[in-house]
Amino acid sequence: MSTDTPNPKNDEARERLIDLAAAFYDQFAAGEVPEMRIPTRTKSNIEYDEEQGVWVYGDRHSTRSANSVGGAQKLLKAVYVIDFLSNQLEEGRSSTLRELYYLSESWDADAAQFSDQDESNQLVEDLEIVSHVTREDFNMRPEESGATLMGPLFLREQTRRGEREIHCQEDVGEGGYQIPNNPDTIEFLDHDADFVLCVETGGMRDRLVENGFDTDYNVIIVHLKGQPARATRRITKRLRDELDLPVVVFTDGDPWSYRIYGSVAYGSIKSAHLSERLATPQAQFVGIQPSDIVSYDLPTDPLSDSDVNALQSELEDPRFQSEYWTEQIELQLDIGKKAEQQALASRGLDFVTDTYLPERLSEMDVV
């Protein structure tokens, strides 16, 4: 389906893609071996940007060069993807990352076809980096993330059928407002919110809404749905930057959930080239803390070997280099336990909204 409303970003994105293809042609014409340089996407090439307060790629680069068969195939695939995306933008259409992977099977050059979706996803990320255009502006969508928000926020959303205005409490059901793939199509009109609470699990999100936490504390509850999608992180950053709302992150008490917080606050290795758009360095961690496991005697599971390795890795992770995180992680390694958000229900279904969150948020000067 084509879009009814022209998007100037489509024209800019298409122009930059064509410039990339033209650069390959110019290299050929000059008798040079075509190549494309990409920042090395590893933890060892992540650096802390003091000015932005987020993690970004460093100076190490990898080169996609046609001086080998494998390198030539990667550039060939890049050209095919550029052609596809350019046509998609010209026609005002969109597609998913999964569709791009399957679509390659219809390309006339067998060498341009992808072996798996990880390969096609990585190539789209490569094109983002070298073109300085996000995949959202390529009209590329991930599969549905289903992430939602609920709270006292009034917004205007641009859709293919025109604009619509939505209040994210009064005009939505219990499931909340579903965050669109590209949150930059949203305009914030008004709000009565005091802060934003990002919640890892659907069960905890539902408990907070059922208990009326969003209305009692004037909070916008963002369901991260596990590792948050880019759209979820983008709208969280916009809520912080444009509405000046404090952001707190509420997850399970395990090393993988701490990394969920880290991706919200500081960005991830995979999307470090977009940290200034996606990361919210002012975000604070509210729990579950290892110290909560001890203080509230929460039901727990033992740490697995992979949990222990992950915690030890986080002690060296630049995103967790603070006195707070060092103390919490070392405590967790000492007690050898982890706990889920829902473990708070051992003290009653209302404990999280009547006691735990109010006390923690008060300690953090959020409420």
The rounded distance, in Å, linking the Cα atoms of 343 and 300 is: 8
Question: 217 in helix, strand or coil?
Answer: coil
Residue type at 240? R
Q: Are 139 and 88 in contact (CB under 8 A)?
A: yes
Residue type at 331? L
The rounded distance, in Å, linking the Cα atoms of 151 and 358 is: 17
Q: Are 219 and 213 in contact (CB under 8 A)?
A: yes
For helices 323-335 and 255-265, the axis angle rounded to 10 degrees is 160
For helices 323-335 and 305-314, the axis angle rounded to 10 degrees is 160
Name which of 167, 164, 147, 170 is nearest 229 in CA terms: 147
Alpha carbon 349 to chain centroid, angstroms: 30
Centre a 10 Å sphere on the Cβ of residue 167 and count the other Cβ atoms it contains. 16
The rounded distance, in Å, linking the Cα atoms of 109 and 323 is: 55
Active site residue 102: yes
The rounded distance, in Å, linking the Cα atoms of 74 and 117 is: 14
Cα–Cα distances (Å) from 238 to 126, 139, 247, in that order, read 25, 20, 11
> Among the options 80, 101, 102, 296, which is catalytic?
102
Cα–Cα distances (Å) from 84 to 37, 54, 57, 88, 143, in that order, read 21, 33, 28, 6, 19
Phi/psi region, residue 163 (left: phi>0; alpha: psi -120 to 50; beta: rest), is: beta
- Residue 329 tokens read as 């992680």
Which residues are marked as active site?
102
